[in-house]
Amino acid sequence: RLTEPIELEEGAEVNVIVITSEPENGKKPLEDHSWNALAELVNECAIDTGITDLAHHHDHDLYGTSKQN
């Protein structure tokens, strides 16, 4: 929140970020299905690589570095 005006050149580009602490109507949403939809999409797109430690040893798999325990 600005407490004083800011002097800008005419035509200066600015970014405005609006941060709200709660929904516009003041009520919290009953349920947010976004995370569930994302989880379903990830499961649908998952590919079985046969590598059980892929995330843990990704540097080794990508770059050939030593595996970390």
pLDDT score, position 50: 84
Specify if 10 maps to a domain.
no
Instruction: List the one residue out of 48, 50, 51, 68 whose CA is nearest residue 60.
Output: 68
Residue 42 lies inside a defined structural domain of this protein: yes
The 10s digit of each residue's pLDDT in 2-34 is: 888 999 999 999 998 887 666 666 666 667 788
Report if residue 51 sits inside a domain.
yes
- Does residue 46 belong to any structural domain of this protein? yes
What confidence score (pLDDT) does residue 14 get?
92
Instruction: Tell me which of 14 and 60 has the higher pLDDT.
Output: 14
The pTM of the whole model exceeds 0.85: no
Tokens matching residue 32:
């947010």
CA-to-CA distance for 48 and 31, rounded, in angstroms? 31
The answer to whether residue 22 is domain-embedded is: no
b or e along 39-64 (b: 16 or more beta carbons within 10 Å of the residue's beta carbon)? eeeeeeeeeeeeeeeeeebeeeeeee
Would you call 11 helix, strand, or coil by DSSP? coil
Number of domains comprising the chain:
1
- Domain of 58 in residue numbering reads as 34-63
